[in-house]
């Protein structure tokens, strides 16, 4: 009988300890607000390159005067993140402020941390609070800027620019600019929007010739103090060549009319 009472006492003591332990855990959880199944955004440390360890979900690129495109292909996002890291790891602060005539901006959205903004011009690249722009990596910066320009100048974006009535479209002939009539502007929009983008243009031998028609789009761009011109050359063999006079990388985008043989 005495052993039975002793066993009950031990059981009561163990139950009492469990109750006290659960109570203390509940109090600490309430006081310190221990999250359960919560998703938290980790603020970026300006001096921490761990931001390259995040999982990119989307990337936005804004071309001044033209608009913003979104990239959400996982493989492409990883490639862009690697390109950004390669430029920043090249090191070197810019010798002067980014005075590029054409400055592209954007951001990368991550699954597990805050969005990281970026900015790139010919003289420098900024990603978050990190900046790269030394002469040692100037070629890499130009290459990255060229890649972003190439990605942005698609048939769809250029067609949208031509259709946008906030911009003016002209025909340039004998040094004179003539406003493009509405019917011709609509036709040019349809041609450009449905054009096929060309990657391999090494065999082109007609670019030394004068285009059959030269169009100029005056972009409404509040980021530029002067005028921002986008040029579109149309050749008789049904090729379009598009370039921006502010682009210091001298990049050109090549297209072919979709109904051309």
Query: pLDDT tens per residue, the chain (261 residues)?
Result: 545 444 546 566 666 666 666 676 666 565 555 444 444 444 444 444 555 567 889 999 999 999 999 999 999 999 999 999 989 887 666 555 556 789 999 999 988 788 899 999 888 899 998 888 777 778 888 999 999 999 999 999 999 999 999 999 999 998 899 999 999 999 999 999 999 998 877 777 777 788 999 999 999 988 777 889 999 999 987 899 999 999 988 999 999 988 754
The DSSP call for residue 113 is B
Dihedral of alpha carbons 60, 119, 154, 167, sign: positive
Contact 159, 192 (CB under 8 A): yes
pLDDT for position 48: 47
Is 98 a member of any domain? Answer: yes
Same domain, 71 and 91: yes
Structural domain range at position 118 = 49-152
Is 205 a member of any domain? Answer: yes
Same domain, 101 and 168: no
Contact 221, 65 (CB under 8 A): yes
- The torsion region of residue 37 among left (phi > 0), alpha (psi -120 to 50) and beta comes to left
Same domain, 144 and 207: no
Nearest of 51, 165, 67, 173 to residue 112 by alpha carbon: 51
Nearest of 100, 84, 87 to residue 223 by alpha carbon: 100
Is 236 a member of any domain? Answer: yes
The span from the CA of 250 to the CA of 195, in Å, is 22
pLDDT for position 101: 86
The span from the CA of 60 to the CA of 57, in Å, is 10
Same domain, 143 and 67: yes
φ, ψ for residue 209, nearest 5 deg: -80, 165
Is 220 a member of any domain? Answer: yes
The span from the CA of 197 to the CA of 193, in Å, is 10
Domain boundary among 152, 179, 209: 152
Nearest of 88, 95, 98 to residue 137 by alpha carbon: 88
Three-class SS of residue 258? coil
CATH number at residue 211: 3.30.1490.410
The span from the CA of 167 to the CA of 156, in Å, is 16
Domain boundary among 113, 134, 152: 152
Q: At what angle do helices 138-152 and 74-89 cross, to 10 degrees?
A: 160
Is 44 a member of any domain? Answer: no
Please name the residues in contact with 86: beta carbons below 8 A apart, sequence gap of 6 or more. 140
Same domain, 196 and 104: no
Count of structural domains, the chain: 3
Same domain, 170 and 147: no
Same domain, 163 and 252: yes
Same domain, 137 and 87: yes
pTM given for the model: 0.75
Is 261 a member of any domain? Answer: no
Half-sphere exposure of 154 (CA within 13 A, CB side): 14
Same domain, 174 and 87: no
Same domain, 185 and 222: yes
φ, ψ for residue 173, nearest 5 deg: -145, 130
Same domain, 120 and 65: yes
Same domain, 125 and 192: no
């Amino acid at each position: 009988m005495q052993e039975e009472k002793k066993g009950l006492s031990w059981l009561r003591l163990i139950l009492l300890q469990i109750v006290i332990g659960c109570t203390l855990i509940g109090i600490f959880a309430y006081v310190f607000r221990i999250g359960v199944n919560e998703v938290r955004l980790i603020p970026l440390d300006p001096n921490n390159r761990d931001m390259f360890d995040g999982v990119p979900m989307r990337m936005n690129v804004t071309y001044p005067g033209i608009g913003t495109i979104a990239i959400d292909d996982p493989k492409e996002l990883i490639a862009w993140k690697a390109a950004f890291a390669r430029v920043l790891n090249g090191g070197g602060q810019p010798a002067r402020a980014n005075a590029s005539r054409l400055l592209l901006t954007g951001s990368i959205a991550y699954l597990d941390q805050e969005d990281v903004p970026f900015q790139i011009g010919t003289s420098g690249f900024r990603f978050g609070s990190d900046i790269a722009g030394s002469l040692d990596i100037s070629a890499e910066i130009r290459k990255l800027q060229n890649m972003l320009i190439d990605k942005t100048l698609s048939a769809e974006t250029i067609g949208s620019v031509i259709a946008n009535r906030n911009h003016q479209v002209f025909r340039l002939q004998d040094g004179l600019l003539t406003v493009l009539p509405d019917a011709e502007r609509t036709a040019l929009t349809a041609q450009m929007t449905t054009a096929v983008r060309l990657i391999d243009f090494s065999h082109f031998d007609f670019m030394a010739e004068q285009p059959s028609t030269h169009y100029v789009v005056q972009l409404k761009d509040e980021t530029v103090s002067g005028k921002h011109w986008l040029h579109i050359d149309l050749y008789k063999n049904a090729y379009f060549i598009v370039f921006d006079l502010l682009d210091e990388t001298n990049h050109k985008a090549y297209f072919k009319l979709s109904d051309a043989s």
